[in-house]
Amino acid sequence: LKAEWDKLKHAKTVTADGKHFELAGNIGTPKDLEGVLGHGGEAVGLYRTEFLYMDSPDFPTEDEQFEAYKAVLEGMEGKPVVVRTMDIGGDKELPYLKFPEEMNPFLGYRAIRICLAEDQMFRTQLRALLRASVYGNLRIMFPMIATLAEFREAKALLEEEKAKLVAEGVDVSDDIQVGIMIEIPAAAVIADRFAKEVDFFSIGTNDLIQYTMAADRMNERVSYLYQPYNPAILRLIKNVIDSAHAEGKWAGMCGEMAGDQTAVPLLVGLGLDEFSMSATSILRTRSLMSRLDSKKMTELAEKAITECDTADEVVALVEEYTK
């Protein structure tokens, strides 16, 4: 096994019949790059920048952020890096950013909702990202987008900061993809509308599953409802991927499901373009994909979506197709 994985470290990710998929790593700090590259990651599919804020006694300055983003972009040597703007709130708190207590923090003031309201903080992050953009292949991603209005507002702030920097004579890349996380069911349902305006989607299944099933991802008493293979979840994922492709855009996934060995055959069948996961799952997933036939997986996914009533039935079907 070790020998096979060593060989796969420098190989492209292809199925048995030669279809290519991109395997990327999730990171929380520039230090995590080592793991992604060491395990043969082809990209960074999710850089969770909130750790920069959480590890700091006060707001990280524009320069501090710039240095972190630059280090990641340079470290990846031109390979794509998807940086997610700050996703604070829910279970992640900042000691220096206090808000009134909420009854349902996961349904409350978090992520892009905070960024659009506290736009000075958000603008600082956007400026740092824009300045770093010339050091690699930067893609910017907004978290917890529910409506097109939110995306348009965030994108407009990005454009404003870009125009200011250019006017100041600062070099900014002209080739930055701007996308969103799909982790709120409303966005998954109208993905066709979003696909006309974004450059890419990355499906955040950790949140998408909890919001779709109305089952807190931390609550053990309802964990039986946290079902990645539920046909309802698969249909949402299919809608997101198909909507992206209809507009010539790409769709990835950066939730835990992307590296889940039962989900991967289904996601290959649904045509997901990019899979982003913890570094330690990359080689296992590349190895699994190399044994899958993509046409057979298309048939599997189609069947799971049209013929299965329950998550258990989906799991049984995956087992039958991957024996």
Nearest-CA neighbor of 90 among 5, 220, 211?
211
Q: State whether residue 251 is helix, strand or coil.
A: strand
Sequence-distant (≥ 6) Cβ neighbours of residue 124 within 8 angstroms? 59, 61, 62, 65
- 70 makes contact with ligand PEP (CB under 6 A): no
Please check if 63 is assigned to a binding site: no
Task: Provide the token pair at 121.
Answer: 């903080």
- Picked from Mg ion, ligand PEP, none, the partner binding residue 162 (CB below 5 to 8 A depending on kind) is none
CB-nearer residue toward Mg ion: 207 or 273 = 207
- 87 makes contact with ligand PEP (CB under 6 A): yes
- Picked from ligand PEP, Mg ion, none, the partner binding residue 205 (CB below 5 to 8 A depending on kind) is ligand PEP
Sequence-distant (≥ 6) Cβ neighbours of residue 4 within 8 angstroms? 287
- Nearest approach in angstroms of CB 89 to ligand PEP is 10
- 254 makes contact with ligand PEP (CB under 6 A): yes
- Nearest approach in angstroms of CB 72 to ligand PEP is 17
- Nearest approach in angstroms of CB 90 to ligand PEP is 7
Q: Pick from 30, 204, 252, 259: which binds ligand PEP (CB under 6 A)? A: 204
Number of CB atoms found within 10 A of residue 5's CB: 15
Task: Provide the token pair at 259.
Answer: 């590296």
Q: Are 178 and 126 in contact (CB under 8 A)?
A: no
Task: Provide the token pair at 243.
Answer: 């909507």
How far is the C-alpha of 277 from the C-alpha of 146, rounded, in Å? 23
- Picked from ligand PEP, Mg ion, none, the partner binding residue 150 (CB below 5 to 8 A depending on kind) is none
- 183 makes contact with ligand PEP (CB under 6 A): yes
Residue 308 is a catalytic residue? no
Positions in 192-251 near Mg ion (CB under 5 A): 204, 207
CA distances from 24 to 42, 55, 258 (A): 5, 24, 10
How far is the C-alpha of 213 from the C-alpha of 225, rounded, in Å? 7
* Stretch touching ligand PEP by CB under 6 A, among 62-70, 161-169, 204-212, 229-237: 204-212
Task: Provide the token pair at 78.
Answer: 């031109």
CA distances from 19 to 141, 190, 273, 304 (A): 26, 28, 10, 21
- Nearest approach in angstroms of CB 318 to ligand PEP is 21
Q: Pick from 56, 173, 206, 298: which binds ligand PEP (CB under 6 A)? A: 206
- Find the catalytic residue in 72, 126, 181, 254: 254
CB-nearer residue toward Mg ion: 87 or 161 = 87
The β-bridge partners of 46 are 26
Nearest-CA neighbor of 231 among 146, 312, 294?
312
- Nearest approach in angstroms of CB 217 to ligand PEP is 8
Positions that interact with Mg ion (CB under 5 A): 183, 204, 207
Positions that interact with ligand PEP (CB under 6 A): 46, 48, 87, 183, 204-207, 254-255
Q: List, by residue number, the catalytic residues.
A: 254
